[in-house]
Amino acid sequence: MDYPNSSDKDSTSANALFAFPFPSHELAFQELAADRLFERIPFADRQPIVDAAWAKGVRAAQAIFEETKGNSNFIDICQQHGITVVHRDLDCVYGSQRYFSDFVSKQLVVTLYDRSCELWARQNQMSVSAAQNLILSHEFFHILEVTKLGLTAQDYQVPTLKLGPLVLIKSGVQALSEIGAHGFAYTYFQLLSKKGISYE
């Protein structure tokens, strides 16, 4: 299944590739290209589904920016949406993936892995609080997906099991949720900077 309880991840190699603070629309296609189902997506559909996922993130960012009157603090925004943010003093690495945060939708709890975030902050030459704010903004899009928008990963489905002409199983495309979250974070911080609002 795609996107279970939204464990959020970013590999260190991906960080080296992507521009600060999160990938732009131009780089979003690479997120799709790295998805395990990429080869099963017809060529003509690829760019349109990237654009649609990105646009969903943009619209959500504009709506939240308006709703919160440009609040730059995602701990506040999470709390206002009934989400608890907790910290763990941990560098959370499984295999080749480093996890910065986790969202457990049933409990409405976001966990920030402080040591992992510290490394990311250092790599991007920013304060830990600013880094965690960016990471939380990304996570907040996943919260919105679960609470009201619907999973972006399920907005487009590809057959993963066929028997002759029959499609037995279809799967969503996980990268689309990540692209939506990137579109959200990118747009939100652009709106803040246009208004000259600091996010430290």
Stretch that binds Zn ion, among 27-35, 55-63, 88-96, 176-184 (CB under 5 A): 176-184
Strand 84-88 with 109-113, pairing: parallel
117: which DSSP letter? H
Contact mark string toward Zn ion, 121..160, x via CB under 5 A: ----------------------------------------
181 lines the binding site for Zn ion (CB under 5 A) = yes
User: Which residue's CB is nearer to Zn ion, number 4 or number 42?
Assistant: 4
Q: Which of 106, 171, 178 minimizes the C-alpha distance to 138?
A: 178
Other C-beta atoms within 10 Å of 65: how many? 19
Q: Which residues contact 41 (CB under 8 A, 6 or more apart)?
A: 32, 49, 156, 158, 173
Question: Measured between alpha carbons, how far is 19 from 151 in angstroms, rounded to an integer?
Answer: 25
Beta carbon of residue 7, minimum distance to Zn ion (angstroms, whole number): 9
Beta carbon of residue 162, minimum distance to Zn ion (angstroms, whole number): 29
Beta carbon of residue 136, minimum distance to Zn ion (angstroms, whole number): 11
24: which DSSP letter? -
Q: What residues are paired with 163 via a beta bridge?
A: 166
Q: What residues are paired with 66 via a beta bridge?
A: none
Stretch that binds Zn ion, among 2-10, 98-106, 121-129, 159-167 (CB under 5 A): 2-10
User: Are 132 and 38 contacting, i.e. CB atoms less than 8 angstroms apart?
Assistant: no
Contact mark string toward Zn ion, 4..33, x via CB under 5 A: ----x-------------------------
Residue nearest to Zn ion (CB): 8
User: Which residue's CB is nearer to Zn ion, number 50 or number 181?
Assistant: 181
Give the interface with Zn ion as residue ranges (CB under 5 A).
8, 178, 181
